[in-house]
Amino acid sequence: MSNLGLTLFCEGDSGFALQLDCELSLTGITAIYGPSGSGKSTLLDCIAGLRQPSSDSVISMDGQIWQSSSVTVPTWERRIGYVFQDARLFPHLNVLQNLKYPLARRARPGEISLEQVAAWLELGELLSRATETLSAGQKQRVAIGRALLSSPQLLLLDEPLANLDHAARQQCLRCLQRLSDELHLPMLYVSHDIEEVSQLADQLVLLDAGKLVEHGSLLSLCTRLDTRLSHEEQAAAIVTAAVKGHDAHYGLTELTVDGHALFVNHLPHAPGQTRRVRIPARDVSVCRKRPQDSSILNILPVTVSEIENTDAARLLLRLSLGSQFLLARITRKSAVELKLQVGDLIYAQIKSAALLMESTDQT
């Protein structure tokens, strides 16, 4: 657990001023999420010392002052790793030389080795390549490795997957997940892609117009109806599920969510492992009685715990499933016809396609 203390005021590029006064306890991956122009990158730049906040700002990391009215620790003396959106590999050095760049400058003996980093990030075959021959995804994995080899206390990632195609993005996500599992290294991950955030993040910092809106665990924040997250078009609940078994005949994997069975497309994971499943609100419908002749496989008994109008036509339901929650977006007309009330016991139908998820979660 690391503590990042921020009392910040900094003019952003896009008209907003970043204005924060908070203490963030960082474990695992903390996503900084918000619309563009909300000050996400400005925040990372201030933490890295690449941008100078106003003179009364204070930044402290685990009690060590990086920025105050009397102290400004220069970037090269802060123990941070920074992965930029545009990898920023050094063009005159090959992959191995890029990875070695921080070694002479920052590395401490006994910390992670180059071989280990190369294995985690699947870089083995790239080491002797020139950087201009790499694909965007390969560049980004080298950039992540280079940042790790500077033995950071805190890893900053600024939309590292924004320029990648789907396959490269999945590979990078898998690598980042692996790093988060293997290393006790807090990461601040800037993103405006909620799918990416829900696959990776343990915690969430919501920024809007330069201000902190929410900070907390991702699983609880994304199903709370009073946060902006649940009102977005792609709002989704995230539940943790255990792998129960595989049905080879139908190509399905059975998961258990609080004692209830959930079928998803075949996953390569062994029974007993825990997975995170993202269920978009628009893919959940509800009915009063358990449907008998439905093509939908996943029908779960749930309790209506909250109802919120989102616009004239639609509303959002928060449904409790044991200790976890689902979101359902339905029309107001159906809600009236079904006479839905808080506390009602109903059935949620989930399209199985919505459950496909490649990321892993070991927690």
Partner 1 sequence: MFLTLTPAELEAIYLTAALASITTVLLLIIGTPLAWWLSRRRGNVPAALEAIVAMPLILPPTVLGFYLLLLFTPDSALGRLWQQLTGSQLAFSFSALVIGSVIYSLPFVVQPLQTAFQRVPQGLLQAAATLGASPLDQFRSIVMPLTRRSFVIAASLSFAHTVGEFGVVLMIGGNIPGETQVLSIALYDSVESLRFDEAHRLAGGLMVFSMVLLFLIYRSDQQSTGRMRA
**Smallest separation (angstroms) from partner 1 to the CB of 328:** 44
**Smallest separation (angstroms) from partner 1 to the CB of 150:** 5
Nearer to partner 1, 110 or 259 (CB): 110
How many Å apart are CA 194 and CA 255, to the nearest integer? Answer: 23
Contact residues toward partner 1 (CB under 8 A) are 48-50, 74-77, 80-82, 84, 86, 88, 90-92, 101-102, 105-106, 132, 146-147, 150
Query: What totals of helices (H) and strands (E) does the chain contain, helices first?
Result: 8, 19
Burial of 274 (0-12, 13-18, 19+ CB in 10 A): middle
Nearer to partner 1, 100 or 351 (CB): 100
**Smallest separation (angstroms) from partner 1 to the CB of 82:** 4
How many Å apart are CA 75 and CA 83, to the nearest integer? Answer: 14
DSSP-derived secondary structure for 215-276? EEEHHHHTT-TTSGGGGSTT-EEEEEEEEEEEETTTTEEEEEETTEEEEEE---PPTT-EEE
Nearer to partner 1, 27 or 85 (CB): 85
**Smallest separation (angstroms) from partner 1 to the CB of 74:** 8
**Smallest separation (angstroms) from partner 1 to the CB of 101:** 6
Nearer to partner 1, 84 or 120 (CB): 84
Nearer to partner 1, 92 or 289 (CB): 92
Which among 183, 176, 118 has a CA at the least distance from the CA of 151? 183
Would you give the distance in Å from CA 256 to the centre of its chain?
A: 23
